[in-house]
Amino acid sequence: MRIAMTLVVRDEVDLVETWLRYHLARGVDVVLVTDHGSVDGTSDVLREHEGEGRVVVAREQGEVLRQAEWVTRMARLAATEHGADWVVPSDADELWWPVAGTFQEILAAVPARFGVVRGLMRHFVLRPGSEPFAERMTIRARPTSDLESPYHAQVKIAHRGVPDATVSVGNHDVEGTGLRLLREWFPFEVLHFPLRDERQLEAKYLRRATSPDGQHIVRALDALARGERDALLAETLVAEERLAAGLGDGSLVLDERLRDALRELERTGSLPPAAPSLAEDADRGEDTHLVLEHDAAALAECRCAALEHAVAVLESRAGVSRRILRRVRARPGSRR
């Protein structure tokens, strides 16, 4: 089985090296990257990995982030030119964690009639300090239903490699031949580190101004436009007092798995296999419950929209039928 990942990146030098080393160590065969005009050293890191043959980089300029277009292009290339059986679209602040087993074992277990599985987003919060992100950010937030929060409940998808795949904005959905979703199985966690320091926080939101695809992004951009950067940072940063309260009430969770795995990777060159405890299974189940509630609401909304459309079509046809009937009855000699 051949596994490809795709990555759109811009100015993520603080974590792109870790992202590449981690996923290649997980057994990913090839990474297709679109570098969107990075100027902070990210491009240099990518060039170093390009020479090793497992990282393929395309470069895009301009201010507009055409994320869905670029990810779709890479997904199709992964299938047609790199022989990928599975494609895992990702952002640089997302590290895919197998719940159990390896990437290969998980994806080989997907029944043939399904072509899409999902990863459960697990959001890590901004913590003070200057250490590397994985050493410093070991606190995870419980997801929320508030779409204006950067920590709202979300999923990401992995899909079979097909030449007509079309990936949605944000990598939350995909369409293509045979890409049927296995809805209620989440074999991956997506460890998410969206906000990592003051500089990166502001830059992250400003470069999304050309494609603000979420309510939390719109809200942050509005705050920055009002000159409320410090307030936005204070709201996001989890300092000691807030940490103690969150750990006490369960809204924050200590999660050192990635930190420990990266230490092992640095020490031995390999990653330990995932071996979740019952407590970790229950913890993941709590977050999964909220995601499935969102799924049910989204499905109900889609079905309502489809029903409204069907009713409108029927009403339109009925109107046409009535007009035709009136014309027929108005003809001389017609039966009334």
pTM: 0.85
pLDDT value of residue 149: 85
Nearest to 76 by CA among 4, 170, 169: 4
What is the C-alpha separation between 10 and 16, in angstroms, rounded? Answer: 10
Distance of CA 125 to CAs 93, 171, 189, 254, 282, Å? Answer: 12, 21, 16, 11, 21
pLDDT at position 107 is 97
The secondary structure element, H or E, covering residue 2 is none
| Predicted pLDDT at 57 | 97
Q: Which pLDDT score is estimated for 274? A: 83
Report how far residue 246's alpha carbon sits from residue 227's, in angstroms, rounded to the nearest whole number: 28
Pairing mode, strands 86-91 and 55-60:
unpaired
Count of residues for the chain?
336
pLDDT string in tens for the chain (336-residue length): 999 999 999 999 999 999 999 999 999 999 999 999 999 999 999 999 998 889 999 999 988 889 999 999 999 999 999 999 999 999 999 999 999 999 999 999 999 999 999 999 999 999 999 999 999 999 999 998 888 888 888 999 999 999 999 999 999 999 999 999 999 999 999 999 999 988 887 787 877 777 666 788 888 888 888 988 888 888 888 999 999 999 999 999 999 999 999 999 999 999 988 888 999 999 999 999 988 887 655 555 545 555 665 676 676 776 655 665 566 566 665 554
pLDDT at 167: 97
